[in-house]
Amino acid sequence: MRPRSSAKDLSSTITPPLLSTSSQRRRRRRRVGIGQFLRRAIKSAMAEESKKWTILVATIWIQAFTGTNFDFAAYSSQMKSVLRISQVQLNYLAVASDLGKAVGWSSGLALMYLPLPIVMFVAAFMGLVGYGVQWLVLSGILSPPYFLVFFLCLLAGCSICWFNTVCFVLCVRNFTENRALAISLTVSFNGVSAALYTLAANSIDHSSGSLYLFLNAVIPLITSLAALIPILRQPELELLPSDGVQRDSCIFLILNFVAVITGFYLLFLNSAATGLTSSRLLFSGAIFLLVFPLCIPNIVHAREWFRHFHSSFKFDGSGFILVDGEDLELHKESTGQEGPLLVKGNGSISHRFTNLNAGKGEGCWESLITKNQLMMLGEEHAASLLICRVDFWLYYVAYFCGGTLGLVYSNNLGQISQSLGKSSNTTTLITLYSSFSFFGRLLSAAPEYMKFYFARTGWLALALTPTPIAFFLLTASGSALALEVATALIGLSSGFIFAAAVSITSELFGPLSMGVNHNILITNIPIGSFVYGLLAALVYDSNGSRPVFDFAMVTDTVGLLPLDLFVLGLHFSSWVGFQCDLVLKN
């Protein structure tokens, strides 16, 4: 017979399991707490990492909808008719729009004293006034004098330059290691502005040229409001490890692939918009392609996937980088990544870098070229120091004889198509130029993924070659197909130059002063626009009254005299580009 258990015995047998269960619960809670902490930490890190990519996408939006100067040809003929002005006077209005870039350096100064969002909205309101009042003029509501319209074009052009400066600053601040990739990607979308505005206008009324001015006034302001929240949530600046730089390069590669799809979408499907319904559907698809990049960084930030991806694709080096890796790291340490983006003083650095003149001869030519030459790459230059550099003026002339030509050509597309008696094809030419300019800007990032070294100025010289080929094609052939092919080649060449020039300015004359220095560089745009555009306008007005319109006459009257100057300028700029490559070569 078993003895009866006492209460004490029962408590002794029950208590240990209860204590054990309580201990397990505490351990489980501790494990759950650690797991939640890790998940929150990872989520927070991912959120911080995704902030800069959200800013990049917001910058893409700004660039895509603020290239409003590229659709000038869509309403220039109507403006000429309403204002009752000559082709020379119309050319002055195009020059006024480009002249706004001459005072674009003011945006760099504004960023020294004002927050970046305020500078962005100042640009938006300048465009609202500049384009909005012009829309009222073409609508017959206002009849201002010519000089006031000239001032409005100047104000609108200045707003574009301020928007560009804001985008450049955002890229430099948030992508210190992959600055060139960020700038080339975002700037490329500036080339699709004309195609996007064409779709937007066709979605409302395809027969109204003045509608472009209304859209130019309103859409940049709406885009600024959409981009405000990401800009206000900028992440803290920190240096990325080597694997982080490679991971970002992979994301840029995917974003460039999506950008190529966007370009082909706008190029091939834009002509399919035959009615309001199809135009609205295609415009909605374009908006989706602009919003879709927001999802990409979050998807590809899976660590295990990236490890597998990097095991297959190694980005060992860039063929589009002027500064050696060790020099770049030393430059980062000496300048400091936490400092302000724009410097006020001299900005020169006392640390020793690679001497670019080592081993060079001392002949007369070498002495002339190397006078006031850059002693190192990436040295910060204030404006007073910049204008004393021979390298800067070589670069200035190369840009004057290269990228400016494409801009002048695009401004005259309306008159070229009108002279052909095919004014209805103006939007097709604008879309063609815009799309290939977009592809050219994207191609400026391709050398970043090449393993062999080639200086940026060398790529700039190579990018100039399609333009003289295009002009030779126009003189050799009298077909409308030749006009379309030439327009595509010129857009491709000028797009590459526009995008690559930003990174060249940053790496030649310092990333911290880039906001001011690049705006000094592009002061050549209004000068070139005036010189080349005036020559074309004089020839156009002197022969524009002829009743017969054929391609041979257009080639002779509109393109022949400027063509000779264009080809001469392109050959000279190619020479300057290669000379800059020799001067700056290590």
Residue 200 inside a domain? The answer is yes
Q: Is the pLDDT of residue 218 over 90?
A: yes
The CB density around residue 516, as the number of other CB atoms within 10 Å, is 25
Q: Is 7 a domain residue?
A: no
- Residue 324 in any domain: the answer is no
Q: pLDDT confidence of 105, banded at 50, 70, 90?
A: confident
Q: What are 259-316's pLDDT values in tens digits?
A: 889 988 887 777 676 778 888 899 999 999 999 988 877 665 555 454 554 555 444 4
Q: What percent of the chain has pLDDT over 90?
A: 14
Write the CATH number for 473.
1.20.1250.20
Q: Is the pLDDT of residue 153 over 70?
A: yes
Count Cβ neighbours within 10 Å for each residue of 98-114 and write b for 16 or more, e otherwise. Answer: bbbbbbbbebbebbeee
Higher pLDDT, 401 or 320: 401
- Range of 36-45, 254-263, 457-466, 548-557 with top mean pLDDT: 254-263
Q: Which phi and psi (to 5°) does residue 140 adopt?
A: 85, 5
Higher pLDDT residue, 326 or 350? 326
**Is the per-residue pLDDT at 552 higher than 70?**
no
Do residues 440 and 582 make contact, with C-beta atoms less than 8 angstroms apart? no
pLDDT value of position 427: 75
Decide if 16 is inside a domain.
no
In the DSSP assignment, the letter for residue 556 is I
Q: Which of 261-275, 366-380, 409-423, 549-563 has the highest mean pLDDT?
A: 261-275
Domain tally, the chain: 1
Average pLDDT over residues 329-336: 47
CB 439 within 8 A of CB 495: yes
Distances (CA, A) of 28 to 17, 18, 32, 384: 16, 15, 6, 66
Average pLDDT, the chain: 71
Q: What is the pLDDT of residues 313-324, one digit of tens each?
A: 444 444 344 444
573 SS3 class? helix
Residue 323 located in a structural domain: no
- Quote the domain boundaries for residue 490: 49-314+349-584
Place of tokens 């393993």: 451
pLDDT, position 241: 64
> Tell me, what's the pLDDT at 346?
39
What is the pLDDT at residue 408? 77
Average pLDDT over residues 78-104: 83
Mean local confidence (pLDDT), 365-375: 50
User: What single letter denotes the amino acid at residue 62?
Assistant: I
Please answer whether residues 121 and 224 qualify as being in contact, where contact means their C-beta atoms are separated by less than 8 angstroms.
Answer: yes
Residue 527, CA atoms < 13 Å, CB-side half-sphere: 13
Residues 82, 435, 575: CA angle, nearest 5 degrees: 100
Please indicate whether residue 353 or residue 520 has the higher confidence score (pLDDT).
520
Establish if 40 belongs to a structural domain: no
* Structural domain contains residue 60: yes
Return the amino acid letter for 118: I
- Pick the closest to residue 524 from 540, 539, 505 (CA basis): 505
Domain-located, residue 547: yes
- Residue 524: pLDDT above 70? yes
Report pLDDT for 35.
47
CA dist 450 to 172, 238, 308, 455, Å?
Answer: 22, 26, 21, 12
Residue 24: its pLDDT value, please? 59
Extract the runs of DSSP E, i.e. beta strands, from 279-416: none
